């Protein structure tokens, strides 16, 4: 909605990972260097960890963009809670290999044949496993076993493991000693600094044609950093909302007051989202036989949430009307 108002040629703060918007912070540059180093070694495991929303997937997508120019066959596997055999099936599927109804032995043979063929063509094969913290030890051990495929002493497969912070603890479990021995590099992504957060926001805006409209003040940048703690995904979510706010209020300058107003709106909405998604996280379960006063308090709380939701609908209706009016001009 706000793109045309601010004369932008695309949405700058989308949530889906897009390598076009890759921002090389100090941490992300170093992580990319580790990935590149791993590629140059052609064996073992490279591990990248980081909190939710710190940019691990975008990092890999940016790497894949570069790999398109090189002699590398790469596939990405986004895991859930896969058991060992399912992990092998998903790995085979990621490379386009037959796996439905096949036995474990057949899947391993298909993978080995595929890896040998690519190697003999002079290509390297890379498997990237995202959300690796969801994998049980048995699944990680199956991935480690895939690294045993070799020809003339040369590994046929290299793996990158991307996981959230708890994956670091998983890797220290007793059953993963052999996998740890094959890790050739590991890096943990931290959130952006205050200065990097500002550079990140401006980087994304400039990529879509931003010409300092809206102007964002230094105080606004500071408040955005405080609220988002430098996590790229949080910055995207917040700045998208801030730009929408500026559009609705027809503002060409966003200062700390506007940032705080959007923060207040988001904090008001959080109970509504919790009500939609389920019981609020920090609200204890109500015991059986609760009193009338408790019931009334719950009803009043629900009415407050409905009121907030109605307010947000009014804002969206206003935005829709403005969009229609713009289209008629």
* Share of residues in the chain with pLDDT > 90 (%): 55
* CB distance 224 to 197 below 8 Å: yes
Cα–Cα distance measured from residue 304 to residue 298, given in angstroms and rounded to the nearest whole number: 10
Query: Is the CATH code 3.40.50.300 the one for domain 26-189?
Result: yes
**Is the peptide bond prior to 214 cis by the omega test (within 30 degrees of 0)?**
yes
Radius of gyration of the chain (CA): 24
Cα–Cα distance measured from residue 33 to residue 24, given in angstroms and rounded to the nearest whole number: 11
Residue 85 has a pLDDT of 81
Cα–Cα distance measured from residue 59 to residue 75, given in angstroms and rounded to the nearest whole number: 14
**pLDDT beneath 70, residues of the chain:** 80, 271-329
List Cβ<8 Å contacts ≥24 apart for 237-240: 237/13, 237/15, 238/262, 238/263, 238/266, 239/12, 239/13, 239/201, 239/204, 240/11, 240/12, 240/13, 240/14, 240/15
Residue 67 has a pLDDT of 79
Q: What tens digit of pLDDT does each residue of 143-167 get?
A: 999 989 998 888 999 999 999 999 9
Q: What tens digit of pLDDT does each residue of 182-235 get?
A: 999 999 999 999 999 999 999 999 999 999 999 999 999 999 999 999 999 999
Query: Where along the chain do its domains lie?
Result: 2-8+193-328, 26-189
Three-class DSSP category at 271:
helix
Cα–Cα distance measured from residue 243 to residue 254, given in angstroms and rounded to the nearest whole number: 9
């Amino acid at each position: 909605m706000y793109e045309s108002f601010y004369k932008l040629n695309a949405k700058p703060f989308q949530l889906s990972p897009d390598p076009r918007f890759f921002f090389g912070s100090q941490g992300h540059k170093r992580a990319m260097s580790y990935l590149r180093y791993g590629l140059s070694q052609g064996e073992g495991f490279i591990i990248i960890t980081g909190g939710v929303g710190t940019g691990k997937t975008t990092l890999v997508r940016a790497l894949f963009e570069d790999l398109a120019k090189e002699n590398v066959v790469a596939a990405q596997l986004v895991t859930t809670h896969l058991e060992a055999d399912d992990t092998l099936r998903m790995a085979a599927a990621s490379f386009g290999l037959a796996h439905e109804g096949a036995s474990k032995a057949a899947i391993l043979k298909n993978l080995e044949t595929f890896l040998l063929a690519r190697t003999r063509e002079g290509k390297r094969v890379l498997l990237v496993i995202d959300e690796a913290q969801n994998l049980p030890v048995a699944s990680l051990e199956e991935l480690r076993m895939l690294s045993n495929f070799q020809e003339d002493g040369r590994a046929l497969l290299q793996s990158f493991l991307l996981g959230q912070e708890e994956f670091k603890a998983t890797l220290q479990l007793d059953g993963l000693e052999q996998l740890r021995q094959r890790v050739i590099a590991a890096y943990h992504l931290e959130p952006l600094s205050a200065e990097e957060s500002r550079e990140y926001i401006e980087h994304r805006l400039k990529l879509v044609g931003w010409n300092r409209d809206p102007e964002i003040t230094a105080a606004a940048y500071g408040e955005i950093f405080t609220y988002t703690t430098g996590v790229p995904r949080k910055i995207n979510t917040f700045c998208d909302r801030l730009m929408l706010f500026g559009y609705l209020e027809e503002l060409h300058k966003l200062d700390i007051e506007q940032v705080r107003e959007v923060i207040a709106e988001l904090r008001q909405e959080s109970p509504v989202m919790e009500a939609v998604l389920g019981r609020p996280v920090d609200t204890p379960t109500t015991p059986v036989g609760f009193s009338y006063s408790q019931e009334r308090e719950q009803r009043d709380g629900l009415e407050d949430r409905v009121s907030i939701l109605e307010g947000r609908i009014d804002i969206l209706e206003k935005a829709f009307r403005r969009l229609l009016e713009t289209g008629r001009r």
